[in-house]
């Protein structure tokens, strides 16, 4: 549709709701943070979080809301650090070659998603959930933390001898 006022096509709000485990093609920054390239990433934010902006109808709200999803990077380079996990069912996920999830988290506005490539298998999603719990120090609901409780009060100084 062509707008008579400005001569441009008005943009439509994004109506895609991404889910945990969706594989999307996004601009991902290189480690220098000044340049980026297109690479696949896995959506790690929840459907409720990703859909929240789509249910509010206020134009002012949409104008100021960034409609962000959270993703972790995917690389075709084997190996990586101890927290990288290989995607076992990479073909079924829509990837072109054997790939690994890198524990690098980035927020991406939904309008920057170039394409949805596929979806992780259930076993791959479960391994990603486990990784996220491990690297972010989350405790799953209903599970007691195995980490010691932080000390309360000011730090104690050791007596001098």
Among 105, 104, 103, which Cα is nearest to 82's? 103
**Number of structural domains the chain divides into:** 1
Whether 17 is in a domain gets the answer no
Using 50, 70 and 90 to split pLDDT, how confident is the model at 16? confident
Whether 5 is in a domain gets the answer no
Among 20, 39, 21, which Cα is nearest to 29's? 39
Angstrom CA distances, 12 to 3, 6, 15, 54, stand at 13, 16, 9, 12
For residue 140, what pLDDT is reported? 60
- Expressed as residue numbers, the domain containing 29 is 22-136
Whether 129 is in a domain gets the answer yes
Domain CATH code at residue 121: 2.30.30.110
Is the pLDDT at 70 greater than 90, yes or no? yes
Is the pLDDT at 157 greater than 60, yes or no? no
Whether 75 is in a domain gets the answer yes
More confident residue, 85 or 49: 85
Whether 39 is in a domain gets the answer yes
List pLDDT tens digits, range 100-117. 999 889 999 888 999 999
Percent of the chain with pLDDT over 70: 65
The rounded mean pLDDT for the chain is 76
Whether 144 is in a domain gets the answer no
Is the pLDDT at 63 greater than 60, yes or no? no
pLDDT mean over 129-155: 65
Dmax over CA atoms of the chain, in Å, equals 84
Is the pLDDT at 138 greater than 60, yes or no? yes
Is the pLDDT at 3 greater than 70, yes or no? no
Q: Which of 49-53, 61-65, 75-79 has the highest mean pLDDT?
A: 75-79
């Amino acid at each position: 549709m062509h707008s008579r006022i400005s001569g441009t096509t008005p943009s439509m709000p994004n109506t895609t709701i991404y889910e945990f485990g969706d594989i999307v093609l996004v601009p991902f920054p290189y480690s220098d943070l000044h340049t980026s390239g297109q690479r696949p990433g896995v959506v790690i934010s929840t459907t409720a979080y990703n859909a929240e902006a789509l249910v509010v109808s206020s134009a002012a709200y949409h104008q100021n809301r960034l409609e962000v999803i959270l993703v972790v990077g995917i690389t075709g380079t084997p190996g990586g650090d101890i927290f990288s996990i290989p995607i076992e069912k990479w073909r079924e996920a829509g990837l072109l070659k054997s790939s690994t999830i890198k524990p690098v988290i980035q927020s991406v506005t939904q309008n920057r998603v170039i394409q949805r490539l596929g979806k992780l298998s259930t076993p791959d999603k479960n391994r990603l959930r486990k990784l996220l719990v491990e690297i972010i120090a989350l405790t799953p609901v209903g599970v007691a933390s195995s980490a010691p409780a932080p000390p309360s009060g000011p730090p104690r100084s050791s007596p001098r001898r």
